Structures are given as C-alpha cells and as structure tokens.
Amino acid sequence: MPDPLLEAGWEALGEHPPPVEHEDELALAFAHCFRDAAGAMVLEYLRRCFLDRRLGPNASDAELRHVEGQRSVVAHVLALIERGRRGAGRTTNERRKML
C-alpha cells in the first residue's frame, strides 16, 4: 500500500501542522492537566530546563536547532494552557460553569 506522506513529497514537511479537530477541547484539557500545584511544578521545570536554557557562543547549528525545537514545544504547551484557561472560544456563561 502506498504511503501518502511519501507520495506528497516535500510538501508533506510543511511549516504548519495540520489543524486539530476539537482544538478548544484540547486547550481545555491542557489547562485542566496543569491547574494544580503539581502542574505548576511541572511547568516551572519545563521553563527552567528549556525556555531559560542558554547556549554558549561555540554551540553548533545542530545544538541551536535542537534547543529551539524544545523551546517551541514548551511554548506551544504554554499557549494551549493559556487558551484553555481563557475558555477556548466558549461564551462567558460556559466559562463560568467550567470553574
């Protein structure tokens, strides 16, 4: 059976991921997972390890790309959490019910 990714060629490696179904629900799930003290501890750890990490002037291109990829993932998680905390597209009354 042919692989659709192989058939798509370089276009399969686009810069943006495909849209996620139920994006609002996913954001709410992220907010729910990180809402308590344990979640705050994990987020602080991720910030320290990946967002606050600095490389020296001798870092290779590969190291810089690797660290930037890690930062991108943590930033995406933080953005989903924030979106979920804001209610992810829900009305004000629906957000009140969530709390």
Predicted pLDDT of residue 52: 94
Residue 17 scores a pLDDT above 80:
no
Checking if the pLDDT of 13 tops 70, the result is no
Q: How confident is the model at residue 19 (pLDDT cuts 50, 70, 90)?
A: low
CA gap 46, 33 in Å, rounded: 14
Q: What pLDDT is recorded for position 99?
A: 47
- For 26-69, write each residue's pLDDT tens digit: 999 999 999 999 999 999 999 999 999 999 999 999 999 999 99
Longest dimension (CA), the chain: 53
CA dist 21 and 32 (Å) reads: 18
Are residues 72 and 79 in contact, defined by beta-carbon separation less than 8 angstroms? no
Confidence at 23, pLDDT banded by 50, 70, 90: confident
Neighbours of 67 (CB within 10 A): 16
- Tens digit of each residue's pLDDT (9 = 90 or more) over 65-92: 999 999 999 999 999 999 999 987 665 5
Answer yes or no: are the C-beta atoms of 71 and 5 closer than 8 Å.
no
